[in-house]
Structure 1
Amino acid sequence: MRAHRVCAVAVTAATAGSVLAAGVAVAPAQAAPVTTTVTPAALGAALAAPKAPTVTAKGAFLMNAGTGATLYGKGADTRLPTGSTTKIMTAKVVLAAKGLDLNSKVTIQKAYSDYIVKNNASSARLIVGDKVTVRQLLYGMMLPSGCDAAYALADKFGTGRTRDARVKSFIGKMNATARSLGLKNTHFDSFDGGGGKGNYSTARDLTKLAVSAMKNTTFRAVVRTTSTKQRTLTRSGGHRDMAWTNTNPLLRSYKGTLGIKTGSGPNAKYCLVFAAQRGGKTLYGTLLASSSDVNRAKDAGRLLDHGFKR
């Protein structure tokens, strides 16, 4: 009877004694490949990559920060509104300021609270007349997503004789930083993401921005904080405790989360820039225009699970 030939996968191994390979005796002096039979089904299972998850967001991107490899993309280069994820750039510009003193005091102006009321914007609940440090403003901007805190920072770190001029120059610094990072599909027209059609980015660009921002130790410490209490100096010379909770749901629901920032709005829908680390692997990603706050968290979890399995 003729022997039937079987498809096989060769696995090379160093052998010290006699080896039986495909029914043939091999002399002890030889180091020969060991041949074993693998079924097509087993071979397919071994070689198949993890199935890409389905996400509700219009724009999505996931990358391995260590290798720079793209792990997932959906509309990754589509320009979309960014919502409060814009504040990542606001923080980056502040932290790059020459002669930065994180403990310098900023007096809260009525214009900041008026801006919140006029635009129905998210707030750190800063009180007019209070003296707040730059460090505290960063927490107030990045945790509860305070647009009043973002306004205060833009006013302090912009240049010009009037508040409008200072804010305009600060936004100019944001765009200049975007260009220096090679973010070709990103433009800002506000310090908090509340601008019009001129405030946009992509899932890929925001992920690159996040990787750059997280190189700063102060930024990393702020965005990974779940909640904090900050004591501020009041106008009368007393003290007030401000309690802030991070709007990033992954900090409480996904093990290994490092931070970054949520965003939302009528045009932006629900956005999330995120980062997580497990087993020595660090992943960064962005979701833009997700369908709900619940779905953006689920989408992020699916993407991270997918990335860590690869």
Structure 2
Amino acid sequence: MHIGGIFASAAVAVLVGVATPAYAAAKPDVGAKQAYVVDSAGTIHVGKRQTKKVPVASLVKVMTAYVVLREARLTDTVTITAADVRHAADNGATSAALRKGEKLTVEDLLYGLMLPSGADASNALARTYGPGKKAFIDKMNAAARQLGLADTHYTNADGLPTPARGGYSTAADQARLAQVALKNPTFTQVVSAKKHKVAKSADNRAHTWRNTNKLLERTDGVLGVKTGYTRAAGYCLLFAAERDGRQVVGVLLGDQNERRFTEAEELLDYVSEQIAAG
């Protein structure tokens, strides 16, 4: 064989035997005004103005559910009032289509609260387990202090922009709240459900509630958690998923409607690659 050919063959062999170095995936561009992604090992994968105090729209309902789960039994029955129905209608809010006089269990109302984001359900729960809405809001703020959410303040149980000087939170605080709330299996069961049906009975009409969180349809391992929108807050998404043995929690605030789901999916892929890379 030609000597040059021997050296060429050897060079090829060496090159073939050399492993191509792995390149870390680029961090996705995040269009949301505030963002935060952290995993259960405490690794912060994304941070963007995560301590800025801003309105968080219906992400407020995560704390509402958290307080209700501490105060109520799932089998408790709550009677819907005309005020509950008006609360959603008068504020142009999303509702669970509840009717005056219906009697629903706390468990069913939690689905009505978290899946279609019913302001009627939030009003009924806050009114019942304050008792009274003011007392319930006090419990929400007390829970925030207990959890160390120093940059969070609640003024209602649903995140609607009333009163004029509404409540606020941060992306970092919302992630912390979700990490705690997801330790409750009932909370996780509710927020990860794609839909929930309430059968018609003598006490209530039939209901079918579908989850507004489109991320549940887009990728595996998603645990929920909550969508939100007001003009002041923009489109918000608090999400969680299992990735490579870790729980990943992310928050997007002040985003666009469909983009928040696309960004969340990209962020989960990015975190998976980061965890796998060690």
- Alignment TM-score, normalising by the size of structure 1: 0.79
CA contact (8 A) 2:103 2:204 kept: no
Q: Is the 8 A contact 1:186 1:202 kept in 2?
A: yes
Say if 2:30 is the partner of 1:58: no
Q: Choose between structure 1 and 2: higher helix proportion.
A: 2
Structure 1 pair 109/255, CA: closer, same or farther in 2 (3 Å)? same
Equivalent in the alignment of 1:91: 65
The reply to whether residue 178 of structure 1 matches residue 144 of structure 2 is yes
Matched, 1:75 2:75: no
In 2: Cα distance, 1:177 partner to 1:279 partner: 31
Query: Percent same amino acid among aligned pairs?
Result: 43
Match of 1:167 in 2: 133
C-alpha distance 172-278 of structure 1, shift in aligned 2 (>3 A) = same
Measured in 2, the distance between the counterparts of 1:238 and 1:210 equals 33
Aligned-residue offset at 1:198 = 3.1
Question: Are residue 262 (structure 1) and residue 230 (structure 2) matched?
Answer: no
Structure 1 gaps, min length 5: 1-35, 160-165
- Counterpart of 2:102 in structure 1 is 130
Q: Structure 2: 5+ residue runs without aligned partners?
A: 1-13
Structure 1 residues 134-169: Cα deviation after superposition (integer angstroms, max 9, x where no partner): 11110000000000000000011003xxxxxx1011
Normalized against structure 2, the TM-score is what? 0.88
AA at the equivalent of 1:308: S
Deviations 1:249-302 (A, max 9, x none): 111111111110000011111000000113322211100010x21011011112
Matched residues in 1 for 2:243 and 2:27: separation?
Answer: 19
> Are the counterparts in 2 of residues 57 and 287 from structure 1 also a CA contact under 8 Å?
yes
Q: Pick one of 246, 250, 275 that aligns with 2:240.
A: 275
Number of equivalent positions: 256
Give the distance between the partners of 2:76 and 2:68, measured in 1 at CA: 13
Instruction: Please show how residues 214-233 of structure 1 align to structure 2 within 5 Å.
Output: 214-231=182-199, 233=201
* Aligned residues of 1:130 and 1:232 also touching (Cα < 8 A): no
Question: 2: distance between equivalents of 1:115 and 1:296?
Answer: 28
State the alpha-carbon separation in 1 of the partners of residues 252 and 156 from structure 2.
20
> SS at the partner of 1:252?
helix
Aligned residue among 158, 165, 172 for 2:130: 158
2:76 pairs with 1:117:
no
Larger Rg belongs to: 1
Q: CA RMSD in A?
A: 1.8
Aligned to 1:248: 213
Contact 1:81/1:197, CA 8 A, preserved across alignment: no
